[in-house]
Structure 1
Amino acid sequence: MPTMDCAFCEIIAGSRAAHVVLDDGPTVAFLDSRPLFKGHVLLVPRTHYETLPDLPADLLAPYFGAAQSLAAAMETVLGAAGSFVAMNNKVSQSVPHLHTHVVPRNRKDGLRGFFWPRTKYDSDDEAREYANRLRGALG
Structure 2
Amino acid sequence: MDCIFCKIVSGEIKSKFLKETEYSVSFLDAFPLAAGHVLVIPKKHHQKIQDMSTQENADLFSLVHKIISNVDKITGSTLVAIHNGKDAGQEIPHVHVHLVPRSNDDSAGAIHSMFNSKVNLSESEMNELYNKLKI
Both structures adopt the same fold (TM-score exceeding 0.5): yes
CA drift of 1:107 comes to 2.3
CA RMSD between the two structures: 1.6
Aligned match for 1:35, one of 32, 35, 38: 32
User: What secondary structure, in the 3-state scheme, does the structure 1 residue paired with 2:114 have?
Assistant: coil
CA drift of 1:114 comes to 3.3
Deviating above 3 A after TM superposition, structure 1's stretches of 4 or more consecutive aligned residues are none
User: Equivalent residue for 1:61?
Assistant: 58
CA deviation vs aligned residue, 1:39-97 (integer Å, no higher than 9, x gap)? 10111001111111101112222211111222111123x2x211000111112111111
2:24–2:60: 8 Å Cα contact kept in structure 1?
Answer: yes
State the alpha-carbon separation in 1 of the partners of residues 22 and 39 from structure 2.
15
User: Equivalent residue for 1:132?
Assistant: none
Given the two structures, how large is their TM-score scaled by the length of structure 1?
Answer: 0.73
Aligned match for 1:81, one of 76, 81, 93: 76
**Equivalent residue letter for 1:9:** C
Rg comparison, structure with higher value = 2
2:25–2:41: 8 Å Cα contact kept in structure 1?
Answer: yes
User: Equivalent residue for 1:96?
Assistant: 93
CA deviation vs aligned residue, 1:13-39 (integer Å, no higher than 9, x gap)? 000121111212211111111111011
Higher relative contact order (CA 8 A, sep 6+): 1
User: Equivalent residue for 1:25?
Assistant: 22
CA drift of 1:109 comes to 2.1
Unaligned runs of 5+ in 1: 116-139
1:71–1:104: 8 Å Cα contact kept in structure 2?
Answer: no
Aligned residues: 110
Moved more, 26-35 or 6-15: 26-35
User: What secondary structure, in the 3-state scheme, does the structure 2 residue paired with 1:101 have?
Assistant: strand
Given the two structures, how large is their TM-score scaled by the length of structure 2?
Answer: 0.75
